[in-house]
Amino acid sequence: MSKKASIEKLNALHDLITNYYAEAIQSGEELSSGTLAAINAHLKNNNITVDLVEESPMQNLTFKLKELMKENRA
């Protein structure tokens, strides 16, 4: 039987996934609806919430995600 992953390995994997998603969004490339859904699930599963302030970088990121989701639905 294999052993469970260590906390260090799980943290490293979480960090890699988070960085991958951040780079995907920042690249400006078109993201598939599956990728957008995975990013949203990752944020939700990690209890990531945002209080937007007008003209904040996070507001711009949220706007970009909404626009990408609209484009993928069309």
How many domains are contained in the chain? 1
The answer to the question of residue 52 being in a domain is: yes
Q: Is 36 inside any structural domain?
A: yes
Q: Is residue 1 part of a domain?
A: no
Q: Does residue 48 fall inside a structural domain?
A: yes
Residue 2: inside a domain, yes or no? no
Q: Is residue 65 part of a domain?
A: yes
Tell me which residue range forms the domain holding 35. 7-73
Q: Which amino acid is at 72?
A: N
Mean pLDDT of the chain: 82
* Residue 30 domain-assigned (yes or no): yes
Q: What pTM was computed for the model?
A: 0.57
Rounded Cα–Cα distance for residues 55 and 63 (Å): 11
For 8-44, the pLDDT digits (tens) are 998 899 899 999 999 998 998 888 989 989 988 988 8
